[in-house]
Structure 1
Amino acid sequence: MGQFITLTAADGHQLKAYEAGVGNPHKLVVLQEIFGVNHHIRAVCDNFAKEGYHVIAPAMFDRIKKDVELTYDSEDFKAGVEIVTKIPVESSLKDIQAAAEKLGDGKKGIIGYCWGGSLTWEAATTTSIFSAASAWYGAGIPHNKDRKANCPVQMHFGGKDTHIPIEGVKEVEKAHPEETVEVFIYPEAEHGFGCSERSSFNKAAYTLAQERTLKFFKQYL
């Protein structure tokens, strides 16, 4: 089990972050969905810690409201979307950088889910902080598909994701034929297929995506 710590971003903003696996050899930033650093995201961190990662998940909602932990019902979904719309991407990147710096020297990876998946692509294309990035169902990725990645990237999308049209995913694939950008589509999976606390959880798709992610990080970190 991990614990909450406090980070300070480059602009002086202080935010909470969940840290697990201190002392482990590999380093990883985990980015939240639109539901905050809730029970699920903390469990994700703990699972990566068991795999040998020192993990930090910055509470990026702290920019707007402290201690936000939402569930997966429709009202909390609306609340999460409202918060996200108020946070500039540049501010989130500062929080991500603060988490990466806290991990210390050496290679670092980043993984994000939902909103965090989109921000993972942002971090991989607008900074040089990370050595590998795994983006799970990031709806913003197709809109920025033409950017050049500064590190190897994996992307994981659900074939039945109503939030991310499959046509957009195909455009991402077309824009990135390079071997260092992998796009995986799980035909029967919906948005959020990697979260066991959501009705859209797809165990088979999650298991395969997680195996691919761990293999990917083992190669580059």
Structure 2
Amino acid sequence: MHGWIDIETPHGPVRGWRADPVGPSKGAVLVIQEIFGVNAHIRSVAERLCAAGFVAIAPSLFDPVEHGVELDYDDAGIQRARALVAALGTERAIDILNSTAETLQMEGLRVGAVGFCWGGTLAFLCATRLSLPAVGYYGARSVPFLDERAGAALMFHFGADDNSIPPHDIDLHRQKQPQAKLFVYEGTGHAFNRDVDPKVYNEPAAKLAWQRTTDFLEAQLR
């Protein structure tokens, strides 16, 4: 299966992009969107995880507020995205992720999470609130939650030149979550994994972080 599915949640049905590998899977992964929606880039991340042997679902978190959001990477898109994040709220986002995880767990799959930007923070909260092994890429909103105790393994990826996550904030991740694997990539800024955006994409860092991510998920979900 490769395509949109419906996911039942406490806040009504939401769409999710699902990709299933051919043959037995290595487990399942929640792919947690940036603030721009489940767009072509996030769907491609799900497809790459599928190619690596995982069932992947990217739930469309904004659906309870506005259906089918896919925003541009420009100032207007950023402003609209921030309004949608505020309107949805963290608790509803976690409820949707929990419902998605439960759907996969009912299929007998072990579930992890990987998220990007806002989704990086939500991935961290999947580890603290849902006890799912999780990988967070450049989660700039995580600092207020760093005192929460993780119930599963964690991995963080940061760009050394990310203005939204200064070195002090990265150090707080090290101090507050010392058990987590944490990597900082020199010469990279925010959204270095976003390969559809040449202004931010850093191929060497993205490839290394991806290898570390898939190795981590395979070890945690086996």
Inter-partner Cα distance in structure 1 for 2:108 and 2:76: 41
Q: Check conservation: 2:11, 2:64, Cα contact below 8 A.
A: no
Partner of 2:89: 88
CA shift in 2, pair 1:19/1:145, >3 Å: same
TM-score (structure 2 length as normaliser):
0.93
Partner of 2:122: 119
- The one-letter amino acid of 1:123's match is C
Q: Does 1:110 align with 2:109?
A: no
Find the residue that maps to 2:63 and give its secondary structure. Answer: helix
Give, in angstroms, the shift of residue 177 of structure 1.
Answer: 2.3
Give, in angstroms, the shift of residue 205 of structure 1.
Answer: 0.7
Inter-partner Cα distance in structure 1 for 2:153 and 2:14: 28
Inter-partner Cα distance in structure 2 for 1:55 and 1:73: 27
Inter-partner Cα distance in structure 1 for 2:67 and 2:30: 20
Q: Check conservation: 2:29, 2:112, Cα contact below 8 A.
A: yes
Partner of 2:140: 139
Give, in angstroms, the shift of residue 53 of structure 1.
Answer: 0.7
Find the residue that maps to 1:183 and give its secondary structure. Answer: strand
Partner of 1:166: 167
Partner of 1:75: 76
Find the residue that maps to 1:111 and give its secondary structure. Answer: strand
Q: Check conservation: 1:24, 1:49, Cα contact below 8 A.
A: no
Alpha-carbon deviations, 1:121-173, whole Å to 9, x = none? Answer: 11111123x2x210101011222222211100000011111111121111111
Inter-partner Cα distance in structure 2 for 1:166 and 1:183: 13
Inter-partner Cα distance in structure 2 for 1:91 and 1:144: 16
Structure 1 stretch 75-84 or stretch 36-45: which is displaced more? 75-84
Unaligned 5+ runs, structure 2:
none
Q: Does 1:27 align with 2:28?
A: yes
- The one-letter amino acid of 2:40's match is H
Give, in angstroms, the shift of residue 176 of structure 1.
Answer: 2.4
Partner of 2:4: 4
TM-score (structure 1 length as normaliser):
0.93
Q: Check conservation: 2:4, 2:18, Cα contact below 8 A.
A: yes
Matched residue count = 216
Find the residue that maps to 1:105 and give its secondary structure. Answer: coil
- The one-letter amino acid of 1:191's match is H
Q: Which runs of 4+ in 1 moved over 4 A?
A: none
- The one-letter amino acid of 2:208's match is L
- The one-letter amino acid of 1:187's match is E
Partner of 1:213: 213
Inter-partner Cα distance in structure 1 for 2:34 and 2:24: 24
- The one-letter amino acid of 1:121's match is F
Structure 1 stretch 52-61 or stretch 16-25: which is displaced more? 16-25
Unaligned 5+ runs, structure 1:
none
